[in-house]
Amino acid sequence: MKKLVILTGAGMSAESGISTFRDAGGLWDQYPVEQVATPEGYAANPQLVTDFYNERRKQLLEVKPNRGHELIAEMEKHFQVTIITQNVDNLHERAGSTHVIHLHGELTKVTSSFQPNNPLYIQELKPEAYEVKMGDTAADGSQLRPFIVWFGESVPMIETAIDYCEQADIFLIIGTSLNVYPAAGLLNYVPYGAPIYLIDPNHVPIASGRQVHVIQKGASAGMEELMELLTE
């Protein structure tokens, strides 16, 4: 089976009704990134940050995977699929995808404020207990914080993601502006000769000089078209 590696960003989940961060009217317009997505913001106002991610988790309970997520899961019948996502939602998993690498963490998990990447302290929240309160602690006694990679923090899964990109037979990009490094640099690790597809309703500039087959549609309509191309 050929190896299909898929890099997904906020546009992947937009059709499910999850607010994108960067588009006009997105979350960054409502909440300055410095307040809710940096270690400094958390140190300055842990209550605000905790409330912000409680709201994001609540929203996640109210949305469902879209047709694009479902079609990606169906691709596992035809390819060895690895999803590398910049999204912190669990919609790929809920649609049935079995191999998902989360570059920026996972909304449904919390961890230690002292050692956020220590597997001993990472825990999954049950859907009915999604709300974290000040005073809820990890096993090391520190306040539970979101298991999210904030701006200024290292991306622990990037090396794993690079390994999969280097082995890709086909590479697909869906719904990411390719503005966020190090994820944007993953394209450079895809072997020459491997076809690259991009699904996005917006024009996405690509600086790598690689030939990219562009499908200028949303995630669901774009995946329908790509399925026909790749499985005919």
| CATH number, position 214 | 3.40.50.1220
Quote the percentage of the chain above a pLDDT of 90: 76
Instruction: Give yes or no: residues 121 and 34 share one domain.
Output: yes
Amino acid 106: pLDDT: 97
Residues in the chain, how many?
232
- Least confident window among 4-8, 138-142, 184-188: 184-188
**Residue 232 pLDDT:** 76
Q: Which of 177, 178, 171, 176 is nearest to 193 (CA)?
A: 171
Instruction: Note whether 30 and 93 are same-domain residues.
Output: no
Same domain, yes or no, for 168 and 213? yes
Number of domains in the chain: 2
Q: Are residues 25 and 11 in the same domain?
A: no
Radius of gyration in angstroms for the set of CA atoms belonging to the chain, rounded to a whole number: 18
Q: Does 212 share its domain with 119?
A: no
Lowest-pLDDT range, 9-18, 22-31, 32-41, 61-70? 22-31
Regarding whether 143 and 74 lie in a shared domain, the answer is no
pLDDT mean over 73-100: 97
- 144 and 186 part of one domain: no
Q: What is the mean pLDDT of the chain?
A: 91
Which DSSP symbol is given to 113? S
Kindly indicate the confidence band of residue 21, based on its pLDDT and cuts at 50, 70 and 90. low
Which domain range does residue 46 map to?
A: 19-62+109-148
Q: Write out pLDDT tens, residues 154-187.
A: 999 999 999 999 999 999 999 987 767 777 789 9
Q: Is the pTM of this model over 0.85?
A: yes
My answer on whether 142 and 159 are in the same domain is: no
Q: State how far the Cα of 56 lies from the Cα of 88, in Å rounded to an integer.
A: 10
- Residue 107 phi/psi, 5-degree rounding, is -65, -30
Q: Please tell me whether residues 132 and 229 are part of one structural domain.
A: no
57 shares a domain with 28? yes
pLDDT score recorded for residue 19: 67
Contact in structure between 208 and 189 (CB atoms under 8 Å) = no
Same domain, 40 and 74: no
In our burial notation (b when 16+ CB lie closer than 10 A, e otherwise), range 161-191 reads bbebbeebbbbbbbbbbbebeebbebbebbe
Question: Are both 12 and 84 inside the same structural domain?
Answer: yes
The CATH number assigned to the domain holding 58 equals 3.30.1600.10
Catalogue the active-site residues.
Answer: 104
| Ranges of H-type helices in the chain | 10-14, 27-30, 33-36, 39-44, 46-62, 67-74, 91-95, 158-166, 219-231
Mean pLDDT of 3-29: 77
- What are the pLDDT digits (tens) for 117-136? 999 999 999 988 999 999 99
24 pLDDT exceeds 50?
no
Please determine, for residue 23, whether its predicted confidence score (pLDDT) is greater than 70.
no
pLDDT confidence of residue 158: 95
